């Protein structure tokens, strides 16, 4: 809609998918996971009694999209299909290990969130396919997630770097970790080596530095009006440490 | 007439425009419409610098729905060789070329043609059908690029030092002899600074609706800081006499100086005249950012010499300001204001007006002064550091006061600068403890303020209330201030005074809303008009009571005998006298028109605390106090609003705002997403400390307050950052990538 109003696109046909039940529902799956309809707005997600307790990082990422007014309409589905490398909810969804259900003329398929974006403004959805929902896996005890972004202002801004971290702790040892990284490459990335660097550690300085180094190494940013290459790479490392610390604190609090 | 026990002056009365603005009823220029309205759109140059060889509008004119097309041929030309034709501070030779490129396009966004069509989409489509044959020329945007040898010259006829140059002019203020002064100095500090161009950032884009009747009678609704400026410029650029142009000021959604010139009005007038239909034009934000005036980017070098005890003996400033496509950068403000707070025996302050391929600058709050103050106040901070003096003590030691001769000319009368320094020094903020990676900075600033022409008509309604009409768009609360003053003088309830802004054909000439002049000047004319009315009211009561007018006084909204000796009469209220008016000499009203004099300059001193996230290079302002000599705060909330707004804009200028250019010489961030003005959550509550040293030349003691508060801000922030990090930034903005890079630079020892 925004692109239409600003004259960037002129679609011949507009289909409103915000009235399809499956796309606007939030359900807890039998195994303890969540299914979030692709058109659920940020506001609706934050009003859900349980979602934010289980996935505080995903929720804070979705709620960072725009302002209160924007939150009333904008959805995680739109944020992902928008194809922006800086979309806030995407790294958090990647860290969460979310999978999307896609419906097309020839049926349904499931893809990992990190495989949806194809490049700035582009997705791997085929012509005629739409995103139906996100499925987030069940949460073992001792899990926590977090999302942080660097923006020059404090709100109404676009991420210069965004990082989602999801991890599980058992007796102080990290047993699972995933890191999603945004705004530093043509698409949001799953940084597997960063997660690996944390797994098996007690999130000590050496492990955090190794994970930060993995994030820096994964960056393929550009110099642009929002930040330099050097700044983005450095910031990716700084934010990894800060985000992991918040996720760990939340994991401990479970 | 500085009454102390005021009932309304100094009260935080409800703003007269408040309900309309909160409920969305207020009519801005883009809200207006007329039967038969069509849409105007501008075709703009994609090139930073190009000769226009030809323009073919035939295809556009043939597009169904297109009603008119105009190009530079339709605009009145002011030939360059014939010399300046000034309207206020604008030279019409540049104005006529800025509203529509003539032989050359000088910046991306420079209008080349305009189209009016039945819909906005058709007008936009028609713009694409206009064929412009450009000869693309090399371009220069940054000052260094515009000044280097072999730089592309924007105005080939211009010479500086005998050579073709982009330096369009030089201005200096001088006092004493700096060569002599610097010889006496024990310590000399010289530093160079750079600032980026920044936009005023008014929320409402330029907009107008214009109709030209068959007999030539023209009506303009537009958003501006002066309906008379709109009328005069439109008249000069279209050839329609001023008597035929009624310019109606719409409510205005911000200007900050940026709406003291026209962009759309002459084009819409010509389109309306050609098409015979009312034409509406509304800029997009992108057009605002590409084609309207921000303030200059700058480079400056400031050198200050002092004795060991802190006495400043000499100062030299050289300020290079980007004018954009046409001459006229605010060097006067940089040159005149920078050293004005200080009593320095030897001063040379020089300004250079530099053209380059970016949009022509427009006024922005205290034009030029913040740029100069940034350099001077940072050098003073280094001087204080070097002398191990408290920065406020250094300023106090050298502060200008009554009798000080400023380098730009005047000898100061009673001024309140020292009072602002004392108030800052004694403010709890100045003594508050600071945490880790936090720092505190101070800086001062001066602005000339202005008087000039204003008119007012004050009428008593038949039911005994008051309508005041003035001629200045209200962008800073002038309606509320005038109502306070008028209610005070008449001794009636504030709610009984209605203040409206007249259009050009219903109220006398009133100069721009700018220069912090409006409340100063309009309250002067309103006071005189109200005094005339009070004289009339006393005469009427005297006649009714059959006593001498001298024996009648006006008090608490009614005529009373001055004393029992004058006779025993029941007071005659305003309502009584209004009711009797038809039989007692007719309607009661008065108008006054003046070229007001006696606007005295204003001073402010600011305290800023910052905290730095050294890992990410993010600077946050965590506490801010603005102290200012405001003369007399007629409406304190509005005065505080001016201070807070100026500080907010200055913090944006210091930390994030800048025009970013791509390799093609085009602005790469023409919107509020990437042109980062601060949002609410970026700022702390900005505290204000109002110092009131009344202006002796004004009936209520008013001094302009709207511009001073932007002047000290960037220096205060920069000085605070230095205090936090032990590292100085000599260029703005201090944005995260830049701060981070500087902190990581090898010469820098660990910041913690
Ligand atoms: C003022 C403002 C501030 C913003 N701030 C932020 C911010 O801070 N962080 C951030 O990440 N983003 C921000 N955005 C952009 C944000 O990505 C999108 O506006 C929002 O997430 C889109 O959600 P939507 O549901 O409105 O999608 P739409 O705008 O309706 O759609 C976006 C795109 O995705 C497609 N699409 C939507 N849903 C589906 C689907 N189910 N299947 C297939 N394709 C689909 C649409 O066709 C369209 O191309 C901001 C936007 C605005 C206007």
Distances, alpha carbon A28 to alpha carbons A247, B621, B720, in Å: 22, 43, 51
- Domain range holding A176? 143-251
Angle at B613 between CA A234 and CA A167, to 5 degrees: 60
Task: Provide the pLDDT for residue A5.
Answer: 81
What value does the mean pLDDT take over residues A192-220?
A: 98
- Domain range holding B131? 32-137+204-253+259-291
Nearest CA in chain B to A161: B616
* Residue A15 sits in the same domain as residue A103: yes
* Residue B323 sits in the same domain as residue B248: no
Beta bridge partners of A25: none
Task: Provide the pLDDT for residue B751.
Answer: 44
- On average, the pLDDT of chain A sits at 95
Say how many Å lie between the CA of residue A73 and the centre of ligand 1: 9
Domain limit, last residue, from A106, A136, A166: A136
Contact B368, B329 (CB under 8 A): yes
Task: Provide the pLDDT for residue B752.
Answer: 41
Distances, alpha carbon B129 to alpha carbons A146, B50, B115, B290, in Å: 52, 19, 11, 21
CB within 8 Å of chain B, chain A residues 92-151? 150
The CATH number assigned to the domain holding B90 equals 3.90.1170.50
Distances, alpha carbon A40 to alpha carbons A46, A129, B71, in Å: 10, 18, 50
In a domain, B676, yes or no: yes
Q: What is the pTM of this model?
A: 0.96
In a domain, B156, yes or no: no
* Residue A17 sits in the same domain as residue A110: yes
Task: Provide the pLDDT for residue A1.
Answer: 79
Distances, alpha carbon B682 to alpha carbons A207, B637, B640, B656, B677, in Å: 34, 22, 19, 11, 9
Task: Provide the pLDDT for residue A10.
Answer: 87
Q: 3-state class of A46 per DSSP?
A: helix
Element (H, E) at A69: helix A68-71
In a domain, A116, yes or no: yes
- Statement: residue B248 has pLDDT above 80: yes
What value does the mean pLDDT take over residues B247-268?
A: 97
CB atoms A160 and B674 under 8 Å:
no
In a domain, B520, yes or no: yes
CB within 8 Å of chain A, chain B residues 639-658? 655-656
Q: How far apart are CA B381 and CA B373, in angstroms?
A: 12
Q: How far apart are CA B189 and CA B192, in angstroms?
A: 10
Q: Report residue B115: phi and psi, to 5°.
A: -130, 140
What value does the mean pLDDT take over residues B517-531?
A: 98
Beta bridge partners of B452: B596
Residues B534-572: tens digit of each pLDDT = 999 999 999 999 999 999 999 999 999 999 999 999 999
* Residue B485 sits in the same domain as residue B563: yes
Contact A192, A199 (CB under 8 A): no
* Residue B642 sits in the same domain as residue B686: yes
Task: Provide the pLDDT for residue B4.
Answer: 59
* Residue B546 sits in the same domain as residue B478: yes
Q: What is the DSSP letter of B272?
A: H
Say how many Å lie between the CA of residue A247 and the centre of ligand 1: 26
* Residue B224 sits in the same domain as residue B304: no
* Residue B130 sits in the same domain as residue B48: yes
How many domains does one find in chain B? 3
Domain limit, last residue, from B561, B596, B631: B596
In a domain, B275, yes or no: yes
Residues B87-100: tens digit of each pLDDT = 999 999 999 999 99
Kindly indicate the confidence band of residue A254, based on its pLDDT and cuts at 50, 70 and 90.
very low
Cβ of A235 under 8 Å from any chain B Cβ?
yes
For residue B386, give the nearest of B97, B191, B117 by alpha carbon: B191
Q: Report residue B162: phi and psi, to 5°.
A: 80, 0
In a domain, A71, yes or no: yes
Kindly indicate the confidence band of residue A18, based on its pLDDT and cuts at 50, 70 and 90.
confident
Kindly indicate the confidence band of residue B747, based on its pLDDT and cuts at 50, 70 and 90.
low
* Residue B303 sits in the same domain as residue B395: yes
CB within 8 Å of chain A, chain B residues 667-696? 668-669, 673-674, 676, 678-679, 681-682
In a domain, B644, yes or no: yes
* Residue A100 sits in the same domain as residue A169: no
Phi-psi region of B337 (alpha: psi -120 to 50; beta: other; left: phi over 0): alpha
* Residue A114 sits in the same domain as residue A224: no
Q: What is the number of other CB atoms lying within 10 angstroms of the CB of residue B403?
A: 11
C-alpha B680: how far from its chain's center? 22
Nearest CA in chain A to B614: A238
CB within 8 Å of chain A, chain B residues 32-91? none
Q: What is the number of other CB atoms lying within 10 angstroms of the CB of residue A189?
A: 23
Q: How far apart are CA B621 and CA B678, in angstroms?
A: 11
Task: Provide the pLDDT for residue A6.
Answer: 78
Give burial (CB, 10 Å; 0-12/13-18/19+) of B741: middle
How many domains does one find in chain A? 2
In a domain, A1, yes or no: no
Candidate from A1, A63, A71, A82 with most ligand 1 atoms within 8 A of CB, to mutate: A82
- Statement: residue B379 has pLDDT above 60: yes
CB atoms A158 and B615 under 8 Å:
no
Task: Provide the pLDDT for residue B750.
Answer: 46
Say how many Å lie between the CA of residue A85 and the centre of ligand 1: 12
Domain limit, last residue, from A103, A136, A169: A136
Work out the percent of chain B whose per-residue pLDDT is above 90.
98
Beta strands in chain A (DSSP E): 26-28, 34-37, 99-104, 107-112, 117-119, 122-123, 130-136, 143-150, 161-170, 173-182, 189-190
Kindly indicate the confidence band of residue B305, based on its pLDDT and cuts at 50, 70 and 90.
very high
Element (H, E) at B282: strand B279-282
Cβ of A237 under 8 Å from any chain B Cβ?
no
- Maximum distance among all Cα pairs of chain B, rounded to whole angstroms: 91
* Residue B346 sits in the same domain as residue B238: no
Cβ of B735 under 8 Å from any chain A Cβ?
yes
In a domain, B6, yes or no: no
Q: Locate tokens 């592309």: which residue?
A: B152
* Residue A122 sits in the same domain as residue A181: no
- Statement: residue B138 has pLDDT above 90: yes
Residues in chain B within 8 Å Cβ distance of A235: 616, 740
The CATH number assigned to the domain holding B657 equals 3.30.365.10
Residues in chain A within 8 Å Cβ distance of B682: 153-154
Say how many Å lie between the CA of residue A225 and the centre of ligand 1: 21
Work out the percent of chain B whose per-residue pLDDT is above 70.
99
* Residue A225 sits in the same domain as residue A126: no
Higher confidence at residue B223 or residue A226?
A: B223
Token pair for residue B499? Answer: 């203040």
Work out the percent of chain A whose per-residue pLDDT is above 70.
99
Among the atoms of ligand 1, which is closest to the Cα of residue A76? 21
* Residue A36 sits in the same domain as residue A126: yes
* Residue B105 sits in the same domain as residue B216: yes
CB atoms B669 and A225 under 8 Å:
yes
Q: How far apart are CA B474 and CA B323, in angstroms?
A: 28
- Cβ–ligand 1 distance for A101 under 6 Å, the answer no
Q: 3-state class of B418 per DSSP?
A: helix
Cβ of B737 under 8 Å from any chain A Cβ?
yes
Q: How far apart are CA A197 and CA A181, in angstroms?
A: 15
* Residue A23 sits in the same domain as residue A132: yes
Task: Provide the pLDDT for residue B466.
Answer: 98
Task: Provide the pLDDT for residue B486.
Answer: 98
Q: How far apart are CA A93 and CA B434, in angstroms?
A: 40
In a domain, A5, yes or no: no
* Residue B662 sits in the same domain as residue B728: yes
Give the minimum alpha-carbon distance from A68 to chain B in angstroms, rounded to a whole number. 14
Q: How far apart are CA B379 and CA B344, in angstroms?
A: 15
Q: What is the DSSP letter of B216?
A: S
- Cβ–ligand 1 distance for A65 under 6 Å, the answer yes
Domain limit, last residue, from A118, A136, A154: A136
* Identity of the residue in A156, A228, A238 whose CB atom sits nearest the CB atom of B737: A228
The CATH number assigned to the domain holding A184 equals 3.30.390.50
Q: How far apart are CA B619 and CA B684, in angstroms?
A: 13
In a domain, A153, yes or no: yes
Task: Provide the pLDDT for residue A3.
Answer: 83
Query: For ligand 1, atom 39, which residue shows the shortest CA distance?
Result: A78
- Statement: residue B332 has pLDDT above 90: yes
Residues B144-199: tens digit of each pLDDT = 999 999 999 999 999 999 999 999 999 999 999 999 999 999 999 999 999 999 99
Nearest CA in chain B to A67: B679
Contact A203, A244 (CB under 8 A): yes
How many C-alpha atoms does B30 have within 13 Å on its Cβ side?
Answer: 12
Give the minimum alpha-carbon distance from A231 to chain B in angstroms, rounded to a whole number. 6
Task: Provide the pLDDT for residue A223.
Answer: 87
Q: How far apart are CA B619 and CA B683, in angstroms?
A: 11
For residue B69, give the nearest of B141, B126, B13 by alpha carbon: B126
Contact A238, B616 (CB under 8 A): yes
Could you check whether the bond before residue B552 is cis, i.e. omega within 30 degrees of 0?
Answer: no
Q: How far apart are CA B193 and CA B177, in angstroms?
A: 24
Q: 3-state class of B392 per DSSP?
A: helix
Distances, alpha carbon B631 to alpha carbons B129, B384, B449, B703, in Å: 57, 29, 12, 5
In a domain, A3, yes or no: no
* Residue B497 sits in the same domain as residue B432: no
The CATH number assigned to the domain holding A89 equals 3.30.465.10
Helical packing angle, B478-490 and B518-545, nearest 10°: 30
Residues in chain A within 8 Å Cβ distance of B618: 150, 152
Domain limit, last residue, from B545, B575, B596: B596
Query: For ligand 1, atom 26, which residue shows the shortest CA distance?
Result: A74
Kindly indicate the confidence band of residue B2, based on its pLDDT and cuts at 50, 70 and 90.
very low
- Statement: residue B134 has pLDDT above 60: yes
* Residue A47 sits in the same domain as residue A99: yes
In a domain, B160, yes or no: no
Residues B610-653: tens digit of each pLDDT = 999 999 999 999 999 999 999 999 999 999 999 999 999 999 99
Nearest CA in chain A to B651: A153
Q: What is the number of other CB atoms lying within 10 angstroms of the CB of residue A208?
A: 21
Residues A118-159: tens digit of each pLDDT = 999 999 999 999 999 999 999 999 999 999 999 999 998 999
- Cβ–ligand 1 distance for A48 under 6 Å, the answer no
- Cβ–ligand 1 distance for A66 under 6 Å, the answer yes
Domain limit, last residue, from B579, B596, B613: B596
Give the minimum alpha-carbon distance from B737 to chain A in angstroms, rounded to a whole number. 6
How many C-alpha atoms does B61 have within 13 Å on its Cβ side?
Answer: 13
Cβ of B664 under 8 Å from any chain A Cβ?
no
Q: How far apart are CA A64 and CA A48, in angstroms?
A: 16
- Cβ–ligand 1 distance for A63 under 6 Å, the answer no
In a domain, A110, yes or no: yes
Residues B496-509: tens digit of each pLDDT = 999 999 999 999 99
CB atoms B660 and A225 under 8 Å:
yes
- Statement: residue B746 has pLDDT above 80: no
Task: Provide the pLDDT for residue B748.
Answer: 46
In a domain, B190, yes or no: no
CB atoms B678 and A153 under 8 Å:
yes
* Residue A200 sits in the same domain as residue A185: yes
What value does the mean pLDDT take over residues A106-120?
A: 97
In a domain, A99, yes or no: yes
Cβ of B733 under 8 Å from any chain A Cβ?
no
* Residue A205 sits in the same domain as residue A175: yes
Element (H, E) at B38: strand B38-44
Q: How far apart are CA B530 and CA A178, in angstroms?
A: 75
* Residue B656 sits in the same domain as residue B716: yes
Residues B666-676: tens digit of each pLDDT = 999 999 999 99
- On average, the pLDDT of chain B sits at 96
Interface mutation vs chain B, best among A8, A153, A224, most B CBs within 10 Å: A153
* Identity of the residue in A150, A156, A224 whose CB atom sits nearest the CB atom of B616: A150
Task: Provide the pLDDT for residue B691.
Answer: 97
Beta bridge partners of A164: A147, A180
CB atoms A225 and B673 under 8 Å:
no
What value does the mean pLDDT take over residues A48-76?
A: 96
* Residue A131 sits in the same domain as residue A39: yes
Give the minimum alpha-carbon distance from A225 to chain B in angstroms, rounded to a whole number. 7
Q: How far apart are CA B253 and CA B516, in angstroms?
A: 17
């Amino acid at each position: 809609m925004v692109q239409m109003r600003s004259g960037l696109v002129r679609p011949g046909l507009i289909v409103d998918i915000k009235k399809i039940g499956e796309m606007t529902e939030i359900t807890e799956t039998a195994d303890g996971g969540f299914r979030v309809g692709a058109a659920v707005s940020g506001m609706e997600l934050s009003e859900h009694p349980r979602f934010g307790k289980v996935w505080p990082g995903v929720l804070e990422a979705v709620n960072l999209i725009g302002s209160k007014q924007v939150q009333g309409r904008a959805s995680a589905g739109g944020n992902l299909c928008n194809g922006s490398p800086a979309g806030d909810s995407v790294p958090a969804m990647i860290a969460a290990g979310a999978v999307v259900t896609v419906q097309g003329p020839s049926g349904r398929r499931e893809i990992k969130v990190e495989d949806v974006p194809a490049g700035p403004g582009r997705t791997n959805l085929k012509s005629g396919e739409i995103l139906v929902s996100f499925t987030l896996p069940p949460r073992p005890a001792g899990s926590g997630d977090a999302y942080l972004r660097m923006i020059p202002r404090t709100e109404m801004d676009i991420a210069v770097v965004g990082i989602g971290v999801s991890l599980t702790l058992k007796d102080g040892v990290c047993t699972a970790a995933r890191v999603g990284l945004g705004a530093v490459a043509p698409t949001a990335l799953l940084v597997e080596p960063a997660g690996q660097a944390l797994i098996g550690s007690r999130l000590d300085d050496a492990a955090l530095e190794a994970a930060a180094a993995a994030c820096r190494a994964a960056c393929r940013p550009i110099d642009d009006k929002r930040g330099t290459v050097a700044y983005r790479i450095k910031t990716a490392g700084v934010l990894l440490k800060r985000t992991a610390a918040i996720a760990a604190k939340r994991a401990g609090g479970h | 007439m500085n009454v102390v026990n005021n009932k309304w002056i100094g009260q935080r009365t409800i703003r007269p425009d408040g309900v309309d603005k909160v409920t969305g009823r207020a009519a801005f220029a883009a809200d207006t419409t007329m039967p038969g309205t069509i849409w105007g759109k501008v075709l703009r140059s994609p090139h930073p610098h190009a000769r226009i060889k030809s323009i073919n509008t035939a295809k556009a004119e043939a597009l169904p729905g297109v009603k008119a097309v105009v190009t530079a041929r339709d605009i009145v030309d002011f030939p360059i060789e014939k010399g300046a034709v000034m309207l206020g501070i604008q030279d019409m030779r540049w104005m006529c070329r800025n509203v529509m490129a003539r032989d050359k396009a000088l910046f991306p966004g420079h209008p080349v043609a305009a189209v009016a069509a039945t819909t906005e989409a058709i007008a936009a489509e028609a713009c694409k059908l206009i064929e412009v044959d450009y000869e693309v020329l090399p371009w220069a945007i940054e000052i260094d690029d515009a000044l280097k040898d072999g730089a592309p010259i924007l105005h080939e006829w211009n010479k500086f030092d005998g050579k073709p140059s982009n330096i369009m002019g030089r201005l200096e203020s001088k006092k004493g002899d700096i060569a002599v002064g610097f010889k006496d100095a024990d310590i000399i500090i010289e530093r160079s600074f750079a600032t980026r161009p920044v936009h005023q950032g008014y929320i409402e884009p330029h907009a107008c609706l214009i109709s030209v009747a068959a007999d030539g009678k023209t009506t303009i609704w537009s958003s501006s800081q002066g309906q008379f400026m709109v009328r005069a410029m439109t008249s000069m650029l279209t050839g329609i006499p001023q008597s035929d142009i009624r310019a109606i000021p719409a409510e205005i959604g911000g200007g900050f100086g940026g709406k003291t010139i026209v962009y759309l009005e002459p084009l819409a007038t010509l389109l309306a005249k050609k098409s015979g239909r009312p034409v509406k034009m509304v800029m997009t934000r992108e057009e605002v950012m590409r084609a309207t005036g921000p303030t200059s980017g700058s480079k400056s070098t400031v050198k200050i010499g002092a004795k060991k005890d802190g006495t400043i003996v000499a100062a030299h400033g050289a300020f290079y300001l980007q004018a954009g496509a046409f001459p006229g950068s605010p060097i006067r403000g940089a040159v005149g204001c920078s050293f004005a707070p200080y009593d320095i025996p030897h001063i040379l302050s020089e300004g250079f007006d530099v053209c380059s391929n970016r949009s022509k600058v427009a006024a922005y709050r205290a034009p030029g002064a913040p740029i100069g103050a940034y350099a001077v106040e940072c050098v003073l901070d280094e001087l204080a550091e070097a002398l191990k003096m408290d920065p406020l003590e250094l300023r106090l030691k050298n502060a200008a006061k009554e009798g000080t001769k400023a380098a730009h000319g005047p000898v100061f009368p009673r001024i309140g600068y020292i009072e602002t320094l004392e108030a800052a020094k004694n403010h709890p903020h100045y003594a508050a403890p600071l945490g880790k990676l936090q720092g505190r900075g101070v800086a001062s600033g001066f602005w000339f303020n202005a008087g000039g022409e204003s008119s007012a008509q004050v009428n008593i309604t038949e039911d005994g209330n008051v309508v005041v009409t003035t001629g200045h768009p209200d962008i800073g609360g002038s309606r509320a201030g005038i109502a306070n003053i008028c209610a005070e003088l008449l001794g009636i309830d504030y709610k009984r005074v209605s203040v409206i802004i007249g259009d050009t054909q219903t109220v006398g000439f009133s100069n721009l809303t700018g220069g912090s002049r409006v409340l100063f000047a309009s309250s002067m004319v309103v006071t005189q008009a109200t005094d005339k009315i009070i004289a009339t009211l006393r005469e009427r009561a005297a006649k009714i009571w059959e006593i001498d007018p001298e024996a009648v006084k006006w008090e608490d909204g009614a005529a009373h005998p001055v004393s029992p000796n004058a006779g025993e009469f029941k007071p005659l209220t305003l309502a009584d006298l209004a009711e009797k008016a038809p039989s007692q000499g007719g309607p009661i009203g008065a108008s006054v028109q003046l070229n007001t004099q006696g606007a005295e300059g204003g001073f402010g001193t600011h305290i800023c605390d910052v905290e730095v996230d050294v890992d990410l290079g993010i600077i946050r302002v965590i506490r801010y106090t603005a102290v200012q000599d405001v003369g007399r705060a007629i409406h304190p909330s509005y005065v505080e609003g001016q201070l807070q707004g100026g500080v907010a804009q200055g913090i944006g200028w210091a930390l994030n705002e800048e025009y970013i250019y791509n390799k093609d010489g085009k602005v790469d961030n023409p919107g509020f997403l990437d042109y980062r003005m601060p949002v609410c959550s970026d700022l702390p509550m900005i505290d204000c400390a109002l110092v009131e040293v009344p202006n002796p030349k004004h009936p209520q003691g008013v001094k302009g307050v709207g511009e001073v508060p932007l002047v000290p801000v960037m220096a205060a922030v920069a000085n605070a950052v230095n205090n936090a990090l032990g590292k100085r930034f000599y260029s703005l903005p201090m944005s995260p990538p830049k701060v981070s890079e500087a902190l990581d630079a090898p010469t820098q020892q660990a910041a913690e």
